[in-house]
Amino acid sequence: MSDERPDAGTSTARRSASREEQITDAFVAIADTLVAGFDVADYMDALATRCRDLLHVDAVGLLLADVYGRPQVAATSSHRAQLLEVFEIQSDTGPCVECLRTGATIAEVDAEGTDPAGTGRWPEFTRLRREHGFGSVYAVPMRLRDDVIGALNLFRTSPTALDPMDLRLARGMADLAAIGLIQERAIHDSRALAAQLQTALNTRIRIEQAKGVLAERLGLEMDDAFEAIRRYARAHHLRLADVTEQILTSTLQAPMPGPPAPGPAEPTP
Amino acid sequence: MDGASLSVMNQTVPAGAVASSDPLAALLEELQFSLNEGPCVDAATWRRPVLEPDVRMLPAGRWPALLAPLGDTPIRAVFAFPLQIGEIRLGVMDLYRKHPGQLSDPELNTALAYADAATNVLLSGRGDDDDVPDLLLDPVRHRAKVHQATGMVMVQAAVTIDEAFSLLVARSYAEDRPLMDVADDVVARRMRFAPVVADPSRGQPDPGGEGRARS
């Protein structure tokens, strides 16, 4: 198992110094996407990225239930995570699918012997997860009133359990994600969550299409194409949906940032 | 529900009803196309469902030209659902009722499921279930790679996104392979699409056409 980042136990002191600040920053950043020009794609993306950084996990995926109650990928922080999410959806097994179905938080942690041989509930998923270098996975439900509308999935290279504080925070983030969807409904004066979710999923499809356009134009890998879109949006204070629209309607040809060079200075506070 | 109709798109503008359940539904479509406003136009433009439980309670500015003639009909509630795959706008499904009121949750879910089915039919270009490609049985919209490949083909062939998708589907038919496999090949850059020669009869400038090397 690779050791990309310090493990939860070893760096508690260093972490806790700026912990409160980090959490505050994350909530402010997420709240920022909630105000003017709210866009559900930006919101989900910001949430996925912030969760990854804040919860000491290596990849994050957000699943939303579609009109049939089937899970669909709404945002992921990396290609590896997306592959696993898509696999779960296609095979209709795995912790995230289970979480969506039961509304319970589901954990699979290698070091705890949850499933050492990989022969447990989802042998195929477990095998793939390990192949992609993840030692543990958590699925936290996104709840809205009595409904489970989605799941927040946390992937870690570490095979150890998530810090209980981090897990509580994860639940808070999942609640925030649900609130974001309510907000979207309020703004557009639609009472229908199902319609809202479908719209959010369609936005996700447009982003995938725009990634393809950009990957072809600039000879980029898909992940790098998304990173370029994200960076351009941030640098120009645009919503992901705006940049996507520009790419797909070809109004944005030349000025797109080249191959993954260091982006323009980030105007973020 | 008292009536329903399906409209198809011409680029980004609704181009006319292909099916209406009754004369009132047909009239609703007719009014919208001639006035270029209404739930169908909004749903296409905003890419989201438009749910208006009572058109007589709407502010006059919402649809300035449409509301008066609409008020002369028994139509009270209108619901419009875009038929789309990301950027690809295929059409709009309009529903109306003669009594005011929101759709219930089950009604809304049913409507969304019908919109899904209509999207699939428009995508496959046929209404029968004879020799239907895998994309109908295995909803295409949930496969990220198909969408990524569509974007890539749009650039390679210098076509619109709708055409790019059609090219992918055509290739899948021609080679008798699942659409997902074709998309895989495009994304992995094992397959390229040559630029499509512009058809002057369409009266549109060739978008892009950067003279890329073909495969």
Q: What is the CATH number of the domain that holds B103?
A: 3.30.450.40
Residue B81 lies in a domain: yes
Q: Check residue A193 and give its pLDDT.
A: 67
Residue A113 structure tokens: 């012997």
pLDDT for A183 beyond 70: no
Lowest mean pLDDT among A83-97, A181-195, B188-202: A181-195
Q: What is the layout of strands, in order, in the sheet containing A71-76? A: A71-76, A59-65, A147-156, A136-144, A106-109
Q: Are A71 and A98 in contact (CB under 8 A)?
A: no
d(CA A152, CA B130): 40
Instruction: Provide the residue range defining the domain that includes B170.
Output: 134-202
Q: Residue B92 burial by CB count (10 A; 0-12/13-18/19+): exposed, middle or buried?
A: buried
Position with higher pLDDT, A227 vs A79:
A227
Q: Does B154 touch chain A (CB under 8 A)?
A: yes
Q: pLDDT for B118-148, tens place per residue?
A: 887 777 654 444 444 444 434 445 578 899 9
| Co-location of B111 and B153 in the same domain | no
Last residue of a domain, one of B99, B124, B149: B124
Q: pLDDT for A101-145, tens place per residue?
A: 888 999 888 887 655 554 568 888 888 888 888 999 999 998 877
| Co-location of B7 and B113 in the same domain | yes
Last residue of a domain, one of B73, B94, B124: B124
The residue type of A193 is L
Q: What is the layout of strands, in order, in the sheet containing B50-52? A: B13-20, B3-10, B88-97, B77-85, B50-52
The residue type of B56 is R
Position with higher pLDDT, B84 vs A24:
B84
| Co-location of B165 and B115 in the same domain | no
CATH class of A18-189: alpha beta
Residue B62 lies in a domain: yes
CATH architecture classification, A190-269: Orthogonal Bundle (1.10)
| Co-location of B108 and B18 in the same domain | yes
Question: Where do the structural domains in chain A lie, given as residue ranges?
Answer: 18-189, 190-269
| Co-location of B97 and B160 in the same domain | no
pLDDT for B203 beyond 50: no
Residue B215 lies in a domain: no
Lowest mean pLDDT among A6-15, A244-253, B177-186: A6-15
| Co-location of B14 and B117 in the same domain | yes
| Co-location of B96 and B151 in the same domain | no
Q: What is the mean pLDDT of residues B47-68?
A: 90
- CATH code of the domain covering residue B190: 1.10.10
Q: Check residue A100 and give its pLDDT.
A: 87
CB contact under 8 A, B151 and A214: yes
Residue B182 lies in a domain: yes
Q: Check residue B79 and give its pLDDT.
A: 93
Nearest to A199 among B48, B108, B149 (CB): B48
Q: pLDDT for A145-170, tens place per residue?
A: 777 888 999 999 999 899 888 899 89
Position with higher pLDDT, A16 vs B179:
B179
- The owner of tokens 């907000």 is A183
Q: What is the mean pLDDT of residues B87-106?
A: 89
Chain A residues within 8 angstroms (CB to CB) of chain B: 67-68, 72-73, 82, 86, 89, 188, 190-192, 194-195, 198-199, 201-203, 205-206, 208-217, 222, 248, 250
Backbone angles phi, psi at A147, to 5 degrees: -95, 145
| Three state DSSP letters for chain A | CCCCCCCCCCCHHHHHHHHHHHHHHHHHHHHHHHCCCCCHHHHHHHHHHHHHHHCCCCEEEEEEECCCCCEEEEEECCHHHHHHHHHHHHHCCCHHHHHHHHCCCEEEEHHHCCCCCCCCCCHHHHHHHHHCCCCEEEEEEEEECCEEEEEEEEEECCCCCCCHHHHHHHHHHHHHHHHHHHHHHHHHCCCCHHHHHHHHHHHHHHHHHHHHHHHHHHCCCHHHHHHHHHHHHHHCCCCHHHHHHHHHCCCCCCCCCCCCCCCCCCCCC
pLDDT for A171 beyond 80: yes
| Co-location of B16 and B89 in the same domain | yes
Q: What is the mean pLDDT of residues B74-84?
A: 92
Q: Does B28 touch chain A (CB under 8 A)?
A: no
| Co-location of B194 and B172 in the same domain | yes
| Co-location of B116 and B31 in the same domain | yes
Last residue of a domain, one of B124, B159, B176: B124
d(CA B22, CA B78): 15
Lowest mean pLDDT among A66-75, A181-190, B195-204: A181-190
Residue B42 structure tokens: 């909004």
Residue B213 lies in a domain: no
Q: pLDDT for A36-65, tens place per residue?
A: 556 777 778 888 888 888 888 998 988 887
Q: Provide the terminal-to-terminal Cα distance of chain A, rounded to the nearest Å.
A: 35
pLDDT for A239 beyond 80: yes
Q: Check residue A2 and give its pLDDT.
A: 41
d(CA A118, CA A139): 18
Domains contained in chain B, number: 2
